[in-house]
Structure formats: structure tokens, C-alpha cells
Chain A
């Protein structure tokens, strides 16, 4: 609860800075504030509590994920200074929106009530719509923002419809009560329709197959930093929230849902990381730790990779692979970071991505879904081919242009993110014990 209030306070402070003309201080102050909030959050890990008639529930799950989101936001804010060089006047808006986005994210993992959950996801989504369109003069960015907005509202509608049906079946928005009621044998069929609609809405938001059609356009059109936000932070948030919702609501009837999940799982191999995280749902009762671990590993590698992408594709029209040619010679450090993060995503050992996959595999096999694991293995092999295309370009092609100077923030974020990834790869227990 304190976390949420502090984050919103920080967001308001950012807006005030604009009025008071402290624009230059905004990024350092925000980062310091976020680090403080991180400490505040972690201090709550061993004191679970509920606030305001169960609207907000603070427990290990919410604290662990909130901390991850805060760390990711710190990285994203650190990158902003350079990225918005040409839009200095708007910088407080961008930063404030990112902080509000974080507050939505935190609400989405610490809700105790479906209405709170909906508020969280709307705050998150609206922030993302604005960020997607934030390159105002660029028609592509505008297009991305509009498309994202239309698709997102559509998904929100479905989501809300699902929540209504659940309310109709249960007579309450409270997660704990719903969870209790769902244990009983006789449930109206629209309860399940509600859950399915809720799931579809969330899958829309994380762009999982088969609800992913909007993703390529929006990802390409939006400014690169926003894409980074969408594909690391927002995706992980939505996964965590979906996990929390489904485990809470289907404890008694999870078998029925699992059947459809297996079939869907096979279709999911396309957008693979969302699919991998969905695997955690198959062994829902024990998988919270694996999910947190996977989310951390994936988003840290993602941040590192996107940082390098921001550096390479700065002042470029698009993000073609050819821009990465010869990066190994022009900037060996960032090339090494990108290689490491791709290796992590491909699941090569020592990097956290490997252990993340391993934990999901063992857990999924333990719950009896051998076929799903085999499908996931085949999918991993395909993804390696894709990742290595980039590594090849980095090391074997010659660079087209001279080295450009790299701002310190880029080095700091890229190296820090990949080092954290390595550390949790070597000591997975660090993350796993958070949920103890």
C-alpha cells in the first residue's frame, strides 16, 4: 500500500517539477525516488497485510513482483534522458507517465478486488497508449498509438464483460471470496464464460497467439523506448496478474481449464516467451516462484537487449538487422551485452534464461504435460536460429559507419541488467527464496 502511494506521489512530483522548471533534475530525482521506493517495498516482504476492505493485498507475491517492476522502471527511466534528447520540453510528461504506468503495474499484482485490478490495468494501458503515440510528429507513431488504443479498448471491453459475468455468478468482486465460492460444486456456467473472457482480454494485452495481430504494427511504429516498455514491463505485469487471477479463481476447477490450456499452449509457440510463461499456469499451485524467476530473467535480458538496440538504432529510420553489422568491432562492450542477452533468451546455461526454462520444464513435466515440454523444446530450437542471426551480424559483418559515442546511461543500464541476469543465473535461489 505504501508502495502504491509513494509511486503516485513521485509521479505527481514529476509533474510539479515541470511547473517549477526543475527539468534537468527530473531524471536523477526520479531514479533516487524509485530506489527509495524499492527499499520501502522490500521492507514489507515479511509483513503481509490487507488494506481498505481487502482492496489491496500485500504479500510475498505482490512484493516480489512489484520490486521487479520498480527495477525495470529504473532502467527505463535511466534510458530516457538520452532517448528524449530532442524533446526536452516534454520530458517531465514522459517520465511522469512512466511512473503512473508503474503504479498501474503495482496495482495489478497487489489487488484483492477485481475492481482494483481493472483500475490497475486501465492505468497501465492508458499510459502505454500515450507513450506509443508520444513521437507526435511521426505519423507511424501516431498510427501505432491509435491502433494500440483501439485494440486495447476492445480488449478492456471484453475484460470488463468477463468481470461482470463473474460478479453475476458470485455476487462479489472480492478475490478471496470468489476463490472460496469457486470451490463449491455447483457453479453457474457464466462463471466459466467470465473466466474465459477475462483470459482472452489479458491475452490480447500481452499479445499472445492467437490475439497478437496488433503487436507487430504497434511495436514497430512506437518509439523504441516505448516498445521496450511494452515488451518487457507491460508483458510481465500482465502475466503476473493473469497468474494471480487464474490461480485465485480456479483452484477447485482447475482441471477443466487445464484441458483448454494444453491445446492453446501448442498454438502459443509463436510468441514464445509469453507462451513459456503461460506454461507456468499448467502447474499453477506451485509455479509462482518459477514465474517470478522467468519474468525476472526475461525482462532483464530484454532491457539489456533493448538498450543496445536504442544505441544502435538511434537516429535511424528503422530497426533493421543490418544496423548491427560489425558492432563487435565498433563497440565490443555493447556487442558482448547483446550477445549475452540473446544467449539468455535462447536458454544457454549460466545465464538466467536457462534456469528459467529448466524450472518451467521440470514443473510442467511434474504436472504431467510431457507433450507441452517437447513442443516447447522444439520451439526453443527454432528461436535459437533467430537469435543467432543477430549474433552473426554483430561479429562477422563489417560496420558501415564509424563508431558513435555512447552515453554513460546506456553502458550503465546495459551492463547492470546483464550482470543481474548473470548473478541470478548463478544463484537462482536469490529470486526463488523471495516467495519462499
Chain B
């Protein structure tokens, strides 16, 4: 048993979905994604009792490239996150009738394949391949099944695509440069190369460009709100729930390990960039009229804080970053699902056109409320733990940074609750709003249950990720 089989299974699932025809596609995709999630849990269990589930074999002789899938606690946490969200995303989209549904569901599974590969890859080229592969399905999902005016959508999606490819090409150049030092692309070798401060600086920047666009950090975020708004909800969920975590994960796994000195020397700058993103995202979110755009900017604010935590280079910081990545993954998928539920009934996401839904749909209102509160990091939700650890780690670097970052919790509470008030409360809406269906109820319940469970009992995740984060820190601190 190893993770290679897991990846192959996902591919098989994608293929089976594509071949099953439009009528069955959604059910086949759901079946496979649940089965794969089950297998991932099985693997996780094996990993926890000490089995080696990694995979290694040579692939290309010259230049030396290995097919290496490294499953440590951190990678497994991200893989399980991906594979847990995939069935939720697929299941929650059952009510949407897609044209050519076999293709879109196959693309969703294919994307989940590419993202798992990105988290597992231990060879620069393999990693880069998965990184780029994950872009192709989301490009087509957003382009073909998106909403709004086709011309505008096209502009937004192409901008996103060229932006991200441009960033990652610089990463490729960095890999090529590192290759001249190690004569292979293995991460373990990259992490042991003694680069000069100057070399580290440029390599760090090349990686930074790729990741800052993907995450996104200001000032590289301009693609985000448009793409989130124009994509179909499944696409937005994939982007915000998992794909942006690829960038954050890569910061920890690749950038900081290969060029830690730059992060250390310029620690104030990079933490500040993260915090600036938080503040900027919160302020812009205040003024949004569209629910999906508001969520996009709130996402920008959250990932800003995660990045700031990761760049503190403390154990608390990177652990908080990983915890918050997982928590944010679930909560943002839940929130976008709520937006989709509203859109299914009212065909709009403009906040001012909503209002007074509460009396129509008490169950939906309760779920939405819990998600909103989780998003603003109220205890006992999972997000509280992540956000608190992050702010604590930032305060170790500079107290004022923590104070500034902390204001975003207040701002976040303000814009989320204001949105909730306008959209859900107030005089009963004249238009009928049927309460959630069984399908929507199940999706929302799972998400809320996960958020509350790990909010009260985060130990399993912390135990899983801490050892690999500690060895990561050793590698980061190797220059003394």
C-alpha cells in the first residue's frame, strides 16, 4: 500500500466518470471520491502506526528525475483535506444540472488528482508537473461552466491563467538553476545545498512570484475576486478550498526549505506583506455588494494571515498556518455552498436584493450562522484555534503586527455579520425561499460537524502534523 495507488485510483475515478455518460456521471464521481477518501483514511491509519507509504522510483535518466511521492504528516494532512472536500464539492453540486456533466465531474476528479500529486511530490519536476496540471481543469471548469457574461468571464479566466503560468515559469527557472548545483531535482538535496545569501534571495523571489500569485497575496491578487465570481460554484470551491492551499503548502515545503536565509533576513517584510493582505482584504470586503466577491475578499484576508504566520518561521506560526489552512478549507467551501443555495433560489448573489430569509428557512439560517461565526473565528470552532495560534506567533515577532492582524478579526466580524444581517434577517422577504433540501442539509452538516469537532478536539491533526513541521524547522534553521 502506498500513495501511488491512491493517485492512480483518482485517475481511474476520473476516467470512469468520463466514460459513464452524462446521466450517471455525478453518481459515479461521488462513489469514487468517497471510496478514495476511505482509502486515504486507511493509508493515514497505516502511516500513523508507522508504515512507510511513500513511493520512489527513477523516471527520467537525463536530466535525473525521480517519481517520488513523499508522504509525511504534513503532506498527508493536505491530501486528506483535498480528498475530504472533493466528495463534499461533488455531492453539493447534485442540484446543479450541468451540460456535458461527465466532463465537468471528470475534470473535478482530475483536479483533485493533480492537487494531491502536488502535495505529495518530492521531486521538483514532478511537483511542477502536478502544479501546472491542476491549472488545466480549473481553466476549463471556469471557462465553460462559469456564469455571467461570456466575454467578461473569458477575460477574467485567461488573466488568471496567464498570471499563474507566468509565476510558475519563474519557479521552473529556479529549479533549473538549483539543478546545476545538485544534478537532480530532489527536494531533500535542494534542502541541503549551501546557497549563498545572494542566490537564496533570487531563488526565494522566483518562488515567491509563483506562490504569491497562487495564494494570492497583495499586490498579486487582482485575478481573484473576478474569477471567484465568474466560476461555477464547484470551481470556486476547488479554487478557494484547496487550490490556494497548494500555494501556502508550497511556501512551507519548498520555498522556506530551499531558501530560508532570505525569509530570515527579511522576516519583517514578508510578515508585513501577509498582514497588509489581511487588512486590505478586510477593508475591501466591507464594500462588496456581491456575496461571492465578499467571500473572495474575506478569503484574501484569511490567507494573508496564514502567510504571515508561516513567514514567522516559528513552530507556532507554521503549525497555526497549517491548522488554519484546513479550517479555512472547510469553512470557505461551506460559505460558498451557502451562497450557491441562495443563488439556486433567488438567482442572485447581490446582498442588497436579499433579506428576510430567516423566517422562510430557519434551518438554512442556522447553518449559515454557524459558518459565519466559524469564519470570524469564534470559539469553539476550528478556525478559532488556527487564528489564535497565528496571532500568537505573530506577536512573538512584533507585538504591533499582532495588534494590526488582530484588528482583522474585528473587521471580519463586522463585514460578515453585516452581510448576514442584510441577507438573512429583517422583514420577511416577499419571494418564497424553500428551506434546504436533504442533499444540501447533508453537505452543510458534514462541514459544520468537522468544524465543531476539530474545534473541540484538534489533537489528532496537531499530532499528525507536528513531527513533520519540527523536522521542517530543523531544515529551515540549518544556517544557524
Contact = CB atoms under 8 A, between A and B. Distances in A.
Interface of A is mostly: helix
Contacts of A428: 60
Contacts of A333: none
A381 B166 contact: yes
Given A348-B132, A373-B176, A396 B150 contact: yes
Interface in A327-350: 343, 346-350
A370 B177 CA distance: 8
A434 interface: no
A388 B158 contact: yes
A366 B180 contact: yes
Given A348-B132, A377-B169, A380-B169, A365 B62 contact: no
Contacts of B166: 381, 384
A373 B173 contact: yes
Contacts of B62: 289, 429, 432
Contacts of A427: 60
Nearest to A388: B158
A29 interface: no
Contacts of B143: 392, 395-396
Given A349-B129, A392-B154, A381 B176 contact: no
A374 interface: yes
B438 interface: no
A366 B170 CA distance: 17
Given A358-B125, A366-B180, A395-B143, A433 B61 contact: yes
A395 B104 CA distance: 14
Interface in A403-436: 427-429, 432-433
B63 A358 contact: yes
Interface residues of B, number: 28
B308 to A, nearest CB: 29
Nearest to B151: A396
Contact of B165 (A365, A370, A374, A384): A384
A233 B175 CA distance: 32
Contact of B136 (A289, A348, A392, A396): A348
Given A392-B158, A396-B143, A361 B132 contact: no
A377 B172 contact: yes
A253 interface: no
A377 to B, nearest CB: 5
Given A396-B154, A432-B62, A361 B165 contact: no
B140 interface: yes
B179 interface: yes
Interface string B51-78: 0000000001111000000000000000
B144 interface: yes
Interface in A383-399: 384-385, 388, 392, 395-396
Contacts of A89: none
A374 B165 CA distance: 14
A52 B143 CA distance: 61
Contacts of B280: none
Interface in B130-178: 132-133, 136, 140, 143-144, 150, 154, 158, 161-162, 165-166, 169-170, 172-173, 176-177
Interface in B174-201: 176-177, 179-180
A366 B179 CA distance: 8
A116 B249 CA distance: 58
Contacts of B179: 362, 365-366
Given A349-B128, A349-B133, A381 B172 contact: no
A134 B162 CA distance: 40
Contacts of B61: 429, 432-433
A362 B133 contact: no
A381 B143 CA distance: 20
Contact of A377 (B125, B136, B150, B170): B170
A358 to B, nearest CB: 7
B63 A359 contact: yes
Contacts of B63: 358-359, 362
B47 to A, nearest CB: 28
A391 to B, nearest CB: 9
Contacts of A118: none
B129 A354 contact: yes
Interface string A107-128: 0000000000000000000000
A432 B64 CA distance: 12
Nearest to B167: A381
Contact of A365 (B150, B154, B180): B180
Given A381-B162, A388-B162, A433-B61, A350 B172 contact: no
B238 to A, nearest CB: 19
A186 B162 CA distance: 51
Interface string B426-446: 000000000000000000000
A346 B166 CA distance: 11
A47 to B, nearest CB: 23
Interface string A284-320: 0000010000000000000000000000000000000
Contacts of A348: 132-133, 136, 165
Nearest to B135: A348
B223 to A, nearest CB: 14
A373 to B, nearest CB: 6
B444 to A, nearest CB: 33
B172 A361 contact: yes
Contacts of B140: 395
Nearest to B130: A349
A429 B60 contact: yes
B72 to A, nearest CB: 24
Contacts of B129: 349-350, 354
Nearest to B155: A392
A358 B169 CA distance: 10
Interface string B2-31: 000000000000000000000000000000
Contacts of B136: 343, 348
Given A358-B125, A381-B169, A349 B158 contact: no
Lowest 3 A-B CB distances belong to which pairs? A349-B129, A361-B176, A381-B166
Interface of B: 60-63, 125, 128-129, 132-133, 136, 140, 143-144, 150, 154, 158, 161-162, 165-166, 169-170, 172-173, 176-177, 179-180
26 contacts: A343-B136, A347-B169, A348-B132, A348-B165, A349-B133, A354-B132, A358-B125, A361-B172, A361-B176, A362-B176, A362-B179, A370-B177, A373-B173, A377-B169, A377-B172, A381-B162, A381-B165, A384-B166, A385-B158, A388-B161, A395-B144, A396-B143, A396-B144, A396-B154, A427-B60, A429-B61
Given A385-B158, A388-B161, A396-B154, 18 more contacts: A343-B136, A346-B165, A349-B129, A350-B129, A361-B173, A362-B176, A362-B180, A365-B179, A366-B179, A380-B169, A381-B169, A384-B166, A385-B162, A388-B158, A392-B154, A392-B158, A427-B60, A432-B60
